[in-house]
Structure 1
Amino acid sequence: MTARMQLVLDAIDAANSQDPNLENGTPEALLYGQRMTAELERLFPNASEELQIAARGQHVERWKLKRSEYPEGRAGYLAWRKAQGEFHAKVVMTYMKDAGYDHEQLETASQMLRKHGIKRDAEVQALEDVICFVFLKWYFQPFAAKHSAEKIQRIVEKTARKMSSDGRARALREFDLPEVLAAAFQP
C-alpha cells in the first residue's frame, strides 16, 4: 500500500469513526468500510488503488444525509441514493486530492462511487459485486428478519441483477440461500 493511499484510508476511517450509529459498540460506517475492504481483498486481490479507496469510502459519512429528508417511496429513495453517491464521491475526492492523486485518479474513484458505468466498466462492476457480497454476508439476515417474503424476494432479485455473472455464480457457491432466492442468481 502506498503512503498516499494510507492517508486516504485513514481520513475515511477518521470520518467514519464519527458515526453516531453503533453496531456492537463500533461506528456503523467504520465497520462497513472495513467489511468492504475485507471483501474487496478477498474477491479482487489485485484491485487498483482507486478501487480500494472507493470500496473503503463507499459509505463515508453516510449518516449525514438522512433518508427521512427525502420523499417517501421509490422516487425519494432513488434521489437519496443518488445524493449519497455524489456526496461520497465528493468527500473521497477531497481526501484523494489532499493526498496527491491526480485528476484522472480522482475521476476514476468518483465514477465508481457514483456507479457510473455499472455493467460496462470492470472496476465499477467489481465495486458493485463487493457491495452485494457485503450485503449478503453481513446485512441480509437482519434485513430479512424485518421484511415480508415478497419484499425479500424483490431485494434479492435486484441484488442479483446488479452483480456480474461471475459474482452471481460465486454467490451461489458461497451463500446457502433458500432455493426460491437462489434462483435469482442462476444464469
Structure 2
Amino acid sequence: MTDKYTQALHKIDVLHEEDPKIITSPSSPTPIPYELHYANKMTKYLTLREPSAPETLRLAIRAQHLKRWEVPRSSYPATKLGYHAWRSGLQKRQADMAEAICREVGYSPEEASRVAALVRKEGLKGGDPQTQVLEDVACLVFLDDQFEEFEKGYDEEKVVGILKKTWAKMSEQGRELALKIDMSNRAKSLVVRALEE
C-alpha cells in the first residue's frame, strides 16, 4: 500500500473515532466507537471477498459510514421515500468527504472521484464488479454484525422479506461467505426460511 493510502486511511479512521456511540463486542472487547468497529468489519470482509482489492476500493469500503451518526434516520420522514432520501443523502455526503480526503493526501482527481463513485455505489446495476464487491461486503457486515439486533424490531415476515432482498443483492461469492457466518439458532432459522421461500 502507498503512503497516500496510509494517510487517507488514517484520516478516515480519525473521523470514525469521533462517533459518540461506544460499543464492546466479541470482535471488539475493548470499548470502541461503533463506526470504527463497523469500518474494521467492512475491511475484514473485503479481505475475505477480494484480497487483491485496489486502494480505491479499500478506501471506499472504509468510508461507507463516514460520520453517519451526524444524520440520524429520524431527520427524514418515517416513510419508504424518506428512507431512500436518507440513504441517498448519506451516500452523497460520505462520498464527498471521502473524495476530499483522497485529494488532500495526493490521489489524482480521477482516483478520488473513483472512490466517491464507489461510496455512492454507482454502477451497481450496470455490472461494475468493484461496486458489487462493496455491496457484498456491506451485506455481509449487516448479516454478521447487525442482523440479530435488527430482527428483534420487526415481525418474522418482514425480516424474511428483508433477508430475501439482501440475498438478491449479493453475488455468488458473497453468498458463499454469508453461509459461513456464525449466527444464533434463531437467526440461522430465519436465513434458512428466506432461502427456501
Map Cα deviations across residues 163-186 of structure 1 (whole Å, 9 max, x no partner). Answer: 1133224423546632212337xx
Q: Which runs of 5+ in 2 are unaligned?
A: 25-30
2:49 and 2:147 map into 1 onto residues whose CA distance is 19
Map Cα deviations across residues 127-178 of structure 1 (whole Å, 9 max, x no partner). Answer: 0000111111111111122321012112111111211133224423546632
Map Cα deviations across residues 5-64 of structure 1 (whole Å, 9 max, x no partner). Answer: 011110111001010112123111111111111111121100010010011110010111
Question: Which of 154, 158, 163 matches 2:165?
Answer: 158
3-state DSSP class of the match of 1:23? strand
Equivalent residue number for residue 35 of structure 2: 29
AA aligned to 2:67 is E
Question: Which of 156, 161, 179 matches 1:149?
Answer: 156
AA aligned to 1:134 is V
Equivalent residue number for residue 180 of structure 1: 193
1:23 and 1:81 map into 2 onto residues whose CA distance is 23
Q: Identity of counterpart residues, as a percentage?
A: 35
Question: Which of 112, 119, 128 matches 2:118?
Answer: 112
Q: Does 1:134 align with 2:147?
A: no
RMSD: 1.5
Q: Structure 1 or 2: larger helix share?
A: 1
AA aligned to 2:157 is E
Distance 1:39 1:173, change over 3 A: closer
1:124 and 1:8 map into 2 onto residues whose CA distance is 20
2:33 and 2:181 map into 1 onto residues whose CA distance is 27
AA aligned to 1:91 is M
Equivalent residue number for residue 125 of structure 1: 132
Give yes or no for contact 2:49–2:173 (8 Å, CA) kept in 1.
no
Q: TM-score scaled to structure 2, two decimals?
A: 0.88
AA aligned to 1:48 is P
AA aligned to 1:181 is A
Map Cα deviations across residues 84-136 of structure 1 (whole Å, 9 max, x no partner). Answer: 10011011001100011111111211111111111410000000000111111
